Structure 1
């Protein structure tokens, strides 16, 4: 793979293009930005150049990183403090926990695979794994090597 030759100041042009999308409303407050890889493909530059453009927008408080999600557009009125947003792995764990407590996922039932969670919630595999790990740590599910993850039954939670 040969290094790309990017003209000086390209990151500023990319930041301007993204800034325009935000101010024109193409990217609404709270909406996620495309991934670094997707932006790199769109603009034909390296991820380093994209990261530099995004850092510029972060310093202007137009976007902010959101763990488990990526970067999201900030509210232009500055009313968004980040405390109302929870990491995506927690949202997924909360959804699955609700399915377990509501009986949708009965004791002994198989949980969706990491791949299914990735597809359903549009998150990374690490985020899906973290959500499942959260449930396992809470004692709600158990992992069986080579088989998957299953809801623990109330009769014998140690298995």
Structure 2
């Protein structure tokens, strides 16, 4: 990734600083990342800015959010550069194609998927957006995301 310029958003500069700690080994696989509060204190930013920086690392596939633990460095950050939401989307697509979710049936709720994959709801929403974009599911009022019939 290119070095952020001084004109880049502050959260990107914070994300890049934390990324450098991961790549250098200062933060090893399984290590907890600093909390939002700690990032605020270290970088002198508001909590929303800290949250965006940490979400950027998660969306880039470098960290996972573990319920009741916090954000931790992924063990495979060097070998798998695919963003986490895309890996989750691929798993869901495979489940749909394998018939685990029949056409017309709803997918589990975001909260259930977040628990299942140990991911944040934001990451799950991004994964579900991939399925929406590929025409595999649609949002149905009162049912959530429903699997569409396969074409062909």
Flag whether TM exceeds 0.5 (same fold).
yes
Deviation at 1:109, TM superposition (A): 1.6
When normalised by structure 2's length, the TM-score is 0.57
Question: RMSD between aligned alpha carbons?
Answer: 3.7
Instruction: Tell whether the 8 Å contact from 2:136 to 2:148 is kept in structure 1 after alignment.
Output: yes
C-alpha distance in 2, partners of 1:103/1:110? 13
Match of 1:11 in 2: none
Aligned: 1:47 with 2:39: yes
Q: Helix, strand or coil for the counterpart of 1:136?
A: helix
When normalised by structure 1's length, the TM-score is 0.54
Q: Helix, strand or coil for the counterpart of 1:110?
A: coil
C-alpha distance in 2, partners of 1:111/1:150? 6
Aligned: 1:65 with 2:57: yes
The one-character-per-residue Cα deviations of 1:71-90 (angstroms, maximum 9, x if unpaired) are: 63789xxxx7x562211111
Match of 1:86 in 2: 82
Q: What runs of 5+ residues in structure 2 fail to find an aligned partner?
A: 1-20, 45-55, 64-71
State the number of aligned residues: 111
Q: What runs of 5+ residues in structure 1 fail to find an aligned partner?
A: 1-17, 41-45, 53-63
C-alpha distance in 2, partners of 1:51/1:120? 33
Match of 1:144 in 2: 140
Instruction: Tell whether the 8 Å contact from 1:114 to 1:125 is kept in structure 2 after alignment.
Output: yes
Match of 1:100 in 2: 96
- Deviant stretches of 4+, over 3 Å: 29-32, 68-71
Task: Give the number of the structure whose alpha-carbon radius of gyration is greater.
Answer: 1
C-alpha distance in 2, partners of 1:131/1:117? 10
The one-character-per-residue Cα deviations of 1:11-39 (angstroms, maximum 9, x if unpaired) are: xxxxxxx99xx67xxx7x443634624xx
Deviation at 1:108, TM superposition (A): 1.1
